[in-house]
Structure 1
Amino acid sequence: MTQSTHVVRRAIILAAGLGSRLQPITARRPKPLVQVHGVPILHNALLCLAHSGIEEVTIVVGYRKEAIIRSCGHHFAGVEITYCESPLFDRTGSAYSLWLARDALSEDTLLLEGDVFFEPEVLSRLLTGDSRDSAAIAPFDATMGGSAVTLSASNHVQSIHMNQTGDTTAGQDLFKTLNLFKFSAETLAGQLRPALDRLIQSGAVTAYVEQLLKQLVEQRNVSLDAVHCGDLKWFEIDSLADLGTAEAIFGPGRKGDDIRAAE
């Protein structure tokens, strides 16, 4: 198990979305079960979490939820899994999914999006050190899309920019969020959970987690340390092109047993 000043034993994975940009693959299977060299994205995340000492995982499911539950079960690689169902998965955003799982936000927790394929060292870095609240980041390049952040001189996330592409970030000193976060129990109870409640009660059910974090960070209610992972293997898979990039990054023959062997 990775050594850390604060032991984290719980994680939440948001895995409810339609994955429409990965059609036709996602017509047959939910996005988190799309495979990179034979390994489903969600299985890879669970193996990495187990390698990092995580004991309990809550997975928010929606689209083709039965396939995810059947594939992962309630115990996977020694990790205990519970499921939280989003009945409105086709018309809500990731913030709504997290709000549904809010009862699990009661202790130090890792938060993962269910479409990121990464190597175990990413979580090792996120969990190591004294930081209680942190975000995994990497330099934004032309192959990427999504949310980006700027950093302060003290290596904190200073601002968050939504819907960025390689074209819009060209020439700017921006970093891509891996959508892998660590939050302390204090931040969850004092800031994130109340902000989630206000957001959903206002009717903003299509909002993304990044939009909520943008508000909290820029109002200085939450301070996120940046954990640099640009030298590690990872990729967020939203489209068929992204899937091809992830397969190129990880190379042929990538198997879940490789992670087990690293333990």
Structure 2
Amino acid sequence: MGKRLREAHTDTPKGFLQLDGRSLIEDSIFRLEQAGITNIIIVTGFCAGHYEQLAMRKDGLVTTVHNPRYAESGSFYSLYCARDLIDEGFLLLESDLIYESRALDVLIGHEYSDAVLLSGPTGAGDEVFVEAPTGLLVNMSKDRSKLGSVAGELVGISKISRGLFALLKHMAAEAFESTLQLDYETDGLVAAATSWEIACPAVSDLIWAEIDDPGQLERAREHVLPRLRLD
């Protein structure tokens, strides 16, 4: 559970927030299945048992791996915890998203083996802006003034090839000697982009929301979910 929402939801991970009768994680699994994904790995942390029970109900579709240091580490370390279960290219998703199926279709069908999905402006607050002047990742930041031309907002869904993941694992092993508080986006993908081409396809009218605080939850319920029902 994200720290900013944990006060209101003290006994469940953020992925189990209910919207329109279905949890975020179950909605994401549904869309992944519809896109043809047959192997889903969930890295667990807070209240991991919820995900383990979900995996048992999914008849082999879902595998869980626990990050025992979730309270003291960032998303890069969580990704690293799944390294022994990944031997091919994959889609990498955040657990606190609702999104339309087109998000997956764009990445799966993209010509580049490595891609980070962007959207148009959302005005949602806490946005991560992405600099990609030629369509390839250069930088990302929550502070727009630190970037050159902004190509869009980071959605939290990426396509990672086996080759890029090997590079990320190598980078992570070295970085973790100093700290585990690293994010795979800024500390992993941006660093890798200095020597590896990572595309940044932008869908200007993408329907999606990140839910990391009460304000974003309200926005998702009132403005995003009604549009997703038509997806």
Q: TM-score, normalised by structure 2?
A: 0.89
Secondary structure of the 1:181 match is: strand
Identity of aligned residues (%): 22
What does 1:104-253 align with in structure 2 at a 5 Å threshold? 104-153=85-134, 155-161=135-141, 163-164=142-143, 173-189=150-166, 191-200=167-176, 202-210=177-185, 211-217=187-193, 220-247=194-221, 248-251=223-226
Shift of residue 253, structure 1, vs aligned partner: 9.2
Question: Take 2:150 and 2:90, find their aligned partners in 1: how far apart are those partners?
Answer: 29
Residue 47 of structure 1: how far off its partner (Å): 0.7
Shift of 1:73: 2.4
1:173 to partner: Cα distance = 3.0
Which residue in 1 is equivalent to 2:11? 28
The CA RMSD measured in Å over matched residues stands at: 2.4
CA contact (8 A) 1:36 1:243 kept: no
Asked if the contact 2:112–2:199 (Cα under 8 Å) also holds between the matched residues in 1, the reply is yes
1:232 deviation in Å? 2.0
The verdict on how the C-alpha distance between 1:253 and 1:80 changes in structure 2, with shifts beyond 3 A counting, is closer
Contact 1:95/1:208 (8 A) holds in 2 = yes
Which has the larger share of helix?
2
Q: How far, CA to CA, are the matches of 1:178 and 1:224 in structure 2?
A: 15
In the TM superposition, residue 135 of structure 1 has moved relative to its aligned partner by: 0.7
Q: Distance in 1 between matches of 2:121 and 2:85?
A: 31
| Residue in structure 2 matched with residue 15 of structure 1 by the alignment | none
Give 1 or 2: higher strand fraction.
Answer: 1
The one-letter code of the counterpart of 1:22 is: L
Q: Choose the corresponding residue for 1:69, options 52, 75, 100.
A: 52
Q: SS in structure 1 opposite 2:27? A: helix
User: Quick check: 2:132–2:139 contact (8 Å CA) kept in 1?
Assistant: yes
Q: Residues 40 and 62 of structure 2 are in contact (CA less than 8 Å); yes or no, is this contact kept in structure 1?
A: yes
Say if 1:136 and 1:79 are closer, same or farther in 2 by CA, change over 3 A: farther
CA contact under 8 A between 1:157 and 1:223: conserved in structure 2?
yes
Question: Is the Cα contact below 8 Å between 2:121 and 2:204 reproduced in 1?
Answer: no
Aligned length: 229
3-state DSSP of counterpart to 1:143: coil
CA gap of 1:152–1:252, structure 2 versus 1, over 3 A, is closer
CA distance in 1: counterparts of 2:228 and 2:132, whole angstroms: 36
> Equivalents in 2 of 1:34, 1:216: separation in Å?
33
Which residue in 2 is equivalent to 1:8?
none
Do the aligned partners of 1:109 and 1:183 also contact (CA within 8 Å) in 2? yes
The equivalent of 1:85 in structure 2 is: 66
AA aligned opposite 1:114:
S
Distance 1:253 1:231, change over 3 A: closer
CA drift at 1:252:
8.5
Deviation at 1:172, TM superposition (A): 6.1
